Amino acid sequence: AALQAAANKGNIELVQVLLFAGAHVNAPPADKYGRTALQAAAENNNIEVVQVLLFAGAHVDAPPADKDGRTALQAAAENNNIEMVQVLLAAGA
């Protein structure tokens, strides 16, 4: 949950510290919105955090945790964040 929260806030330093300390980059959705860290970062337009998470092995196509959720790519597209869409597509979304 700490990794998802840090990703959601765009706190790249904390994301890096948590990953270095062994946080699981693909931990099941734990925040109140049912998002993975990657989904949270993408939804909040935190492209640098998305890049760190992808480099750490985040699953780019992780499914949403609930029927109202979105993949990272869907979130980026809905936010009209072309750069984020390009990063996610380059990573295999």
Neighbours of 26 (CB within 10 A): 14
Mean pLDDT of 15-23: 98
Q: Is the dihedral of CA 13, 17, 19, 24 positive or negative?
A: negative
pLDDT tens for residues 25-78?
998 877 677 889 999 999 999 999 999 999 999 999 998 876 778 899 999 999
Helix-helix angle 47-55:82-90, to 10 degrees: 10
Ordered structural domains, the chain, with CATH = 2-90 (1.25.40.20)
pLDDT at 70: 87
Rounded mean pLDDT of 15-29? Answer: 94
Total-model pTM:
0.92
